[in-house]
Amino acid sequence: MEEQLTAITATIHEVGHAVDTIHDSTTTFSGSPEFNLRRRNGEVVAMKPGSVVSELIDHYFGEDSALSQLLAYPLNSGNKVNAAMGVDELREELFAQAWAFSNLPGGMDFLRDNLPATAAFMETVHEQVKATNYARPQNAQQNAQPGQVPDRTQAAGNVVRASRQAAAPT
């Protein structure tokens, strides 16, 4: 069960990286002022306003919870991979961890009870993700149902007919 939860959490974390840029391609949620941080003597330090980062750091160092265990990546500066991260990567990884945790069963409730600024920020992110209008690719099948596979024989027939019409003498 532990391995399954780890795999699920890792997958949701990776989705968090995609979500980070979902509202527009030039800014990120992790680039928000709530995620302001820097490194000082190798340690991650929140910068004003940095309210989300401040809560996450305080929780990591002050509590023993599922969230604090999750935040060992990227906050454990004793880990060489974590220590080598630049500030942008740290922000992105903290956001992805917060996204993952907020999507786990009971995660958002835990954030509301223990990290209110983080909960409020993540609720806004969730609302923006739900409101995202995904554009349909031009070649998308009309009236397709979830899980429906396009009829390849019909598509192939259309290509054959178009090829014959193009080759026909005028």
Q: What angle do CA 102, 53, 91 make, to 5 degrees?
A: 85
Confidence at residue 36, expressed as pLDDT on a 0 to 100 scale: 95
Q: With respect to residue 27, please indicate whether it lies within any of the assigned structural domains.
A: yes
Residue 104 neighbours by CB distance under 10 Å: 16
Residue 140 lies in a domain: no
Residue numbers in the chain where pLDDT is lower than 50: 148, 150-168, 170
Say if 8 falls within a structural domain: yes
Tally the domains of the chain.
1
Q: What pLDDT, in 10s, does the model give residues 28-46?
A: 899 999 999 999 998 999 9
The answer to whether residue 68 is domain-embedded is yes
Percent with pLDDT over 90 in the chain: 64
Q: Domain for residue 164, yes or no?
A: no
Q: What is the pLDDT of residue 139?
A: 52
Query: Which pLDDT belongs to residue 51?
Result: 95
The pTM of the full predicted model, rounded to 2 decimals, is 0.76
**Residue-level pLDDT at 138:** 52
pLDDT given at position 162: 42
- Classify residue 148: in a domain, yes or no: no
45 within domain boundaries: yes
- Domain range for 34: 2-131
Q: In this structure, is residue 119 part of a structural domain?
A: yes
